[in-house]
Amino acid sequence: MGKEVKSANGTAVPSGAHPQSTVLKDLAHNNDILYRSHGSSDSRDGPRTPTDLHLPSPVARRLSTGAPLTVQNTFPRRCSSYCNGSQEHGDTANGQHGARLGEDLSAPKPRRVSSCCNVTEEHNVLPDQPYRGNAKKISELLGRASEYLDFTEEDAYFGDGGGFDFSTIEYKSRIADPSRPPQKGCNFHYIRWKVRRTVEHLAVRLFVLVLILIDISIVIVDLTNFKSHLDHKLAIISFAFSCFFLLEVSLRIFGVGPKYFFNFTRHNAWWNILDFAVVVVTFITSLLDLTVENLATDGSKLVVSLRIIRVMRLLRICAQQDHLKTAARQIISENKRRYQEHGFDLDLCYVTERVIAMSFPSSGKMSVYRNPIAEVSRFFNTQHKGKYMLYNLCSERTYDASYFEGRVQHVKIDDHNVPTLQQMLDFTTSVINWLNADAENVVAVHCKGGKGRTGTMICIYMVETGLFSTAGESLDYFGSRRTDLNVGGKFQGVETPSQVRPGVETPSQSRYVGYYEWMKNNRHHLPPETPRLLTQLRLSGLSTVGRGDGGDFSVVVSSRAGRLFEASCATGRGCIHAYDKSSDEATITLTDCPVLTGDVQIKFKCSSRNVPRGYENVAFYFWFHTGFITNSRLTLMREDLDNPHKPNTWDVYTDKFCVECTFG
């Protein structure tokens, strides 16, 4: 028997009760006492000090300072899933958000939050309500909150502010992952994953292919030089190869699992079965060949027959092409988390239980190193049949939607670039409406690699639903979910300015996730289309970049409609260039730049060969929206610029490098 726990008013806490619900019940109970003692729900008089009511210390501290006690709503504004099969939390179809806690006390009480409902939000805060005031309604409100918590499975934190904090990364990390990534250590799941990863590695596959070719050569030599003095030695070598091949195929069966290795529904099942059969048969013939060679040296017909059978190993070359494709996909996906359950091996991961990130479903030559569209189709039509929707974010390519029963939405975003603000609002509305339509519905979002554009859009969805309250938290979480740390430490997410990691996507995409956070917190209003006149560009920390004075740079200013303006420091076209060596700053004063409105992209090209070119085939670039410019300036440090944010460019771009845009 565990130690009995008592609440603040001395009553025992029921076993299994949520600890914070007891706090709220105490508050409701004390409010009732206060209400009855003064005979009016409008009474503002109460105990002189909070300690007279034996309140828990966080609440006592808050009230002792005269601060009002606020209760924050943990219901989502736009819930991404059903709770108990009904949309009690809000109606996205008509644009209405979820009801605030205590707003309608006669409304049905939710008994529990469905495990598929993975959003909680703290932005809907009731107006500050003093503890001493309208005590009857407050008691009823707190009572409802305590009932809600009694049915909530996750622990909450009752802070000094009186709110319930569900926004910690630790809470979000407990979202179930159907791909079941292995936990590093001495356990069966991890050992099996490690074995599979090893035998499917490109180096291992190439080594096996070379051994197959050598073994076939030995068989041919053995057949053409029958009764030679090399017969016995060649038979021993061939048997050794047979033992290795048997071990290799056994490890592949262990890594994938016998159930799926011999599963005829898999696209490569026939090759696996043929490969296994050839290995077993040739192992037996090699063993018999060696035995017969020892027992009978009269050139029996059996020996010849056995050696002819070993020629079957030629068939293994055909099977190896599929293994080489698998190895190539591993290299291209790097350490992005892969789905390797139920016989699948796809560059695909569950960011939440109902939101999937993946790379492009490919056909033709691209399917050699990307997800084969037939396998992606088989995955969704077996794991989420009739309950899925794909979002293709590639403006540069598409595919046959009939593989997915026409369940494909096309949101056109250029590679390594950003969506429009309206695209982001439309995307979140579409995703939430689809997820609200059925508790089992899922969405799959992809671009080409399933990282930059995909991460941007999934992060704004998580911000919208309240799974994370800030852009930075959502970006960090997406990267951690998309990264398989068992393979490597390379961060597979969207770049955040405060966390520079190698090989990630552009800071502009991160900036636009921040823009969406602002829109979400401002009732989904677009920012004003503020006209801005770009007058000057100031570059600092140039001594290690190209010529060192900025004279080798040219500037291209574009909008969504296309190129608007171009200037060249070398020729003086469209600008006046000046360099101050003492401060290591170059000033580019633009002379004919038109007024800018909305989304703007600025590219910097450099003619010096020692300046690396990255995305967009330029030295660096960035996106911004004129509606978010404050104080007529935009300052971007090295980590905020697309291309220089990558550490492999930091021998050129030092930590002093930055760009400042001045607007008139």
Q: Which residues are catalytic?
A: 447
Using CB atoms within 10 Å of the CB of residue 284, give its burial: 0 to 12 exposed, 13 to 18 middle, 19+ buried: middle
Residue type at 412 in one-letter notation:
K
Strand duo 658-663 + 532-540: pairing: antiparallel
The token pair that represents 179 in the structure block: 């791909």
Q: H/E element holding 633?
A: strand 633-637
What is the rounded CA–CA span in Å between residue 520 and residue 465? 10
Cα atoms in the Cβ-side hemisphere of radius 13 Å centred on 198? 13
What is the rounded CA–CA span in Å between residue 371 and residue 379? 11
What is the rounded CA–CA span in Å between residue 639 and residue 649? 11
Sheet holding 553-559, edge to edge: 562-568, 553-559, 599-606, 620-625
3-state secondary structure at position 129: strand
φ, ψ dihedrals at 554, nearest 5°: -130, 155
φ, ψ dihedrals at 143, nearest 5°: -65, -40
CB-CB neighbours of 461 under 10 Å: 26
Give me the residues paired with residue 601 across strands. 558, 623
The token pair that represents 80 in the structure block: 């991404």
The per-residue DSSP string of 497-562 comes to TTB--TT---HHHHHHHHHHHHHHHTTTPPPP---EEEEEEEEE--TTSTTSSSTTEEEEEEETTE
φ, ψ dihedrals at 358, nearest 5°: -155, 170
What is the rounded CA–CA span in Å between residue 471 and residue 547? 37
* Cα-to-chain-centroid distance, residue 170: 16
Residues shown for the chain: 664
Cα atoms in the Cβ-side hemisphere of radius 13 Å centred on 247? 8
φ, ψ dihedrals at 288, nearest 5°: -65, -40
470 Cβ contact list (under 8 Å, min separation 6): 463, 517
